[in-house]
């Protein structure tokens, strides 16, 4: 079963409605913009971060146009030591993903619930659908914020809301 199929299977089992689109591989917001992916809802940008000693990992999701100050904004709200981007090796170890595939759906591979999900509070206010890669950079899944929370809560990872 592919990573995408695993995500869709869980969404189906939880009774979560979603819209799936497929497209050529994209790894950045600019790549998505060129394909017109933004037309179906609010696209999210996702970061994979770690604290200074590498013992805490975060998937941070926010609207695509946000540019967070990782040290000045996120670090204090998370009560964390210095933050940095997690390496490709850490991303694979903790979420089973490659660069360009990061999203909250990655927690499907986090069997020990070691990755904290960090969501920008503004996502709660989105009227309509929000979109993420389903652990595959050749597809996009659109769902409501409430259904995203249903997915995250099913896996039991910690969720932290921040203001970006």
How confident is the chain (164 residues) per 10-residue block, as mean pLDDT?
A: 95 97 82 72 92 95 93 95 96 94 96 95 95 92 97 95 96
| Confidence at residue 141, expressed as pLDDT on a 0 to 100 scale | 95
| Confidence at residue 24, expressed as pLDDT on a 0 to 100 scale | 83
| Confidence at residue 49, expressed as pLDDT on a 0 to 100 scale | 98
| Confidence at residue 28, expressed as pLDDT on a 0 to 100 scale | 76
How far is it, in rounded angstroms, from Cα 30 to Cα 82?
28
| Confidence at residue 68, expressed as pLDDT on a 0 to 100 scale | 93
Distance from the first to the final alpha carbon of the chain: 35
Residue 2, burial from CB neighbour count under 10 angstroms (0-12, 13-18, 19+): exposed
CATH superfamily of 3-162: YbaK/aminoacyl-tRNA synthetase-associated domain (3.90.960.10)
User: Which among 136, 145, 6 has a CA at the least distance from the CA of 62?
Assistant: 145
| Confidence at residue 103, expressed as pLDDT on a 0 to 100 scale | 95
| Confidence at residue 41, expressed as pLDDT on a 0 to 100 scale | 80
Q: What is the DSSP string of 45-76?
A: EEEEEE-TTS--EEEEEEETT----IIIIIHH
| Confidence at residue 142, expressed as pLDDT on a 0 to 100 scale | 95
């Amino acid at each position: 079963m592919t990573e995408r199929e695993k995500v869709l299977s869980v969404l189906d089992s939880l009774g979560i409605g979603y819209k799936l689109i497929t497209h050529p591989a994209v790894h950045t917001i600019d790549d998505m913009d060129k394909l017109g992916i933004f037309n179906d809802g609010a696209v999210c940008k996702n970061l994979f971060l770690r604290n200074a000693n590498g013992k805490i990992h975060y998937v941070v999701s926010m609207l695509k146009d946000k540019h967070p100050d990782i040290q000045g904004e996120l670090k204090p709200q998370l009560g964390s030591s210095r933050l940095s981007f997690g390496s490709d090796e850490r991303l694979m170890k903790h979420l089973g993903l490659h660069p360009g595939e990061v999203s909250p759906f990655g927690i499907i591979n986090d069997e020990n619930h070691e990755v904290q999900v960090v969501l920008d509070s503004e996502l709660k206010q989105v009227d309509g659908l929000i979109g993420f890669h389903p652990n595959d950079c050749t597809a996009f899944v659109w769902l409501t914020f409430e259904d995203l929370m249903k997915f995250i809560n099913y896996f039991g990872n910690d969720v932290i809301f921040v203001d970006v």
